[in-house]
Structure 1
């Protein structure tokens, strides 16, 4: 479990490094979460959700292009890059790191002229289900 949490922190650090913008981040760190309806004492997943804001949207767009180009160097396979299915058609990148069993969704939320909320890059990192070794329990 500690290894999966460490992997999540490493992956998020890689994303932050590629984004390379001086904005503010909201970041609570990787969290152990239940794995669907499976027994939470035995099965868990790791998630890390954060965002970056207080940067010009144009710079965030360039960061999304960098992510598309550089994530594969870190073992990520880009599954999709383009407008999402929302009404706003926000730019979205989805990727998988199959060897480590993690997936990533990064969305550029351009809220200019539509909301008082700041525009941001939203990052959602999640793992597959993992099982703790026999005789142990999930530690939150």
Structure 2
């Protein structure tokens, strides 16, 4: 997209809105497990000539829940994401050797996307099973980094 057509927004606002979208996804997952803590971070968007073009990325996971409950949660997401303004653009195995179930969705308005994967680690025994979520904002132009 041409840098002149990008919406202008402060980095703090981009991160705040990304965190809000993450909370919505967490509510839809509806599991009573543990959730990793890191918040969203900003990163420059590649392919933009003007500098000061950023997006926010918020990776997190839900774990310490039975895998069967995680599978039910993935089914719930398939049903509920579209009801909350998310269009599912991929639903199937990811490209990893384990072929983890993956849902990728874009929010109406195009400002956010989400990548959700269920990692069933029972067969490996050394890591907890989890639902991995990454919410990403669109690219926004900022007047200056804040």
When the two structures are superposed, what TM-score results if normalisation uses the length of structure 2? 0.85
Q: CA-to-partner distance for each residue in 1:77-108, whole Å, 9 max, x for gaps?
A: 00111111211111100001141421110000
Tell me what 1:13 maps to: 23
Give the match's secondary structure for 2:36: strand
1:81 to 91, 95, 104: 91
Distance 1:124 1:84 in 2: 14
Q: 2:76 aligns with which of 66, 70, 82?
A: 66
Match of 1:55 in 2: 65
- Give me the whole-angstrom Cα distance separating, in 2, the residues matched to 1:4 and 1:119: 30
Distance 1:101 1:86, change over 3 A: same
Q: Which runs of 4+ in 1 moved over 3 A?
A: 37-41
Map 1:1-140; keep pairs closer than 5 Å.
Answer: 1=10, 2-36=12-46, 38=48, 42-132=52-142, 136-139=143-146
Q: Which runs of 5+ in 2 are unaligned?
A: 1-9
Q: Name the Cα RMSD after superposition.
A: 1.7
Alignment check: 8 A CA contact 1:27 1:49 kept? no
Aligned length: 136
- Measured in 1, the distance between the counterparts of 2:114 and 2:65 equals 22
